[in-house]
Structure 1
Amino acid sequence: MRLYPINAGNFKLDGGAMFGVVPKSIWQKTNPADANNMIDIASRCLLIEDGNRLILIDTGMGNKQSDKFFGYYHLWGHDTLEKSLKNYGFHCDDITDVFLTHLHFDHCGGCVNWNAGKTGYETAFKNAHFWSNENHWEWATKPNRREKASFLEENILPIEANGQLKFTSLPEHQILKNSELGFDIFFADGHTEKQMIPLITYQDKTIAFMADLLPTVGHLPLPFVMGYDTRPLLTLDEKENFLNLAVKNNFYLFLEHDAHNEIITVQETEKGVRLKNSYSTQDIFN
């Protein structure tokens, strides 16, 4: 098995929205804001090369939305999904599976592109299965009013229409062991219904792709929950359960949205679970 970090493009989000009820005077110590209160956010995806499978976890925002849409998110840097794949010698057509932690636009927008004439949409990975789960798919395609702006039909429906949609099994408890993708999955319902956190065995390590359960290092304290979460009290419990597992089993936490910390480990302290070490992906994926 080989692992590759795939940088799908950086953007900015409102710091207050990213930290919910936590005051700016506290969260800006770890996530400094610009003059418009915006903080740096990454779209750091993960590519797994395992035998004849090439599995991409999440796809970033993509590039098909309007200039007005992207104007809200202050894109920065020069990374794109396609460029990052090319850097490792891969093409979108090589991908066999796209695993989607959830279907908010910044995690799945890169799944679907405009067609050549901009008259309709086509999937970006024509040879891949796209993996969600039945509960989350139902949640995303019939969205509640709070999340509707995050579930964009053009990012989601073409996957099913093209016959490329697959569902993982659902767990009896919180962790699905040995999923259809070959890794375990921790399911979390606080951010959105049935978000999936992959737990990948790599060499002698467990790499946890944290998605929106732990967006940045600054979100390690339990009450530091995003304003975007639909069930924040549940997130608090789920994060506590997961971080305790991470300490006990020395998980390496792959941070999708932290623009400045790629992979971390955590430890128990008198203040709760906190940062132990921060690593570059190059340190771990050697």
Structure 2
Amino acid sequence: MNYRHAFHAGNFADLVKHAALLRLLAAMAGDGSLRVIDTHAGRGLYDLAGPEAMKSGEAQAGIVRLMAASDAPSQFQALTAAVLALNRDRAVRRYPGSPWLIAEALRAGDTYLACELRAEEHRALHDLMTGRPGVRTLFADGFDAALAEAPRSGPTLLLIDPPFERPDDYPRIVQVLARLQRRERALSALVWLPLKDLETFDGFLRDLEDEVPSPLLIAETRMRPLTDPLKMNGCALVLLGAPHGMAHDLRAICGWTAETLGDGGEARVYGL
């Protein structure tokens, strides 16, 4: 699997992650000034007519199908509106990454720190975000930046979406969440993970449950049976500090994606 996100922009996993992210941002909008930290931001905007996206075809099976669907639940409306705003002729050529979506959702007084460790991706991200109020980009390891930059008070949303190229990504997620939650009680987090095999995912959840005592909300989008651990058979979201109503939203988002875009897919939403 090629982890350059240009190959995967607008795929089923982006639909799940970004629809959930926008619902979460909307739910947290009434809690005072919000601080958002994105540990693995990417370039922020993707060309779906570029060679990477065209080669993979994942956007055609994801966002293009969503934009043409008549039965998608209302929980996708904010995402489809953002995509329409970027593609006014309705041909889906551009897809917004999390930096674009977050920056567009910021209110006066909110702040957003977008971290990216790949030099080329960070340059594109920096150029895209330049001039936006409350937005800062950082060419740095996002896990380290989250520990250094997260405030000790006030509502904070941490988005963690690593490429999982490194074997220590899973334990570092656990470490960062455990350390931040001990010092910041108003912390909310949205973690995205690939679903390849249950052994890896269940081991991560066990470690997280041991280190982070607060309730967790888990949403699995299984696009196909988890029989081949070499494939990305689905994706999962782990939410810390999930607001009221988020489980309902995730059931709608993950359920539609798995059942409509998957091959014998199913969704599971549960608490730990």
TM-score with structure 1 setting the length: 0.38
**More relative contact order in 1 or in 2 (CA 8 Å, sep 6+)?**
2
* Larger helix proportion of the pair: 2
Normalization by structure 2: what TM-score?
0.39
Is the strand fraction higher in 1 or 2? Answer: 1
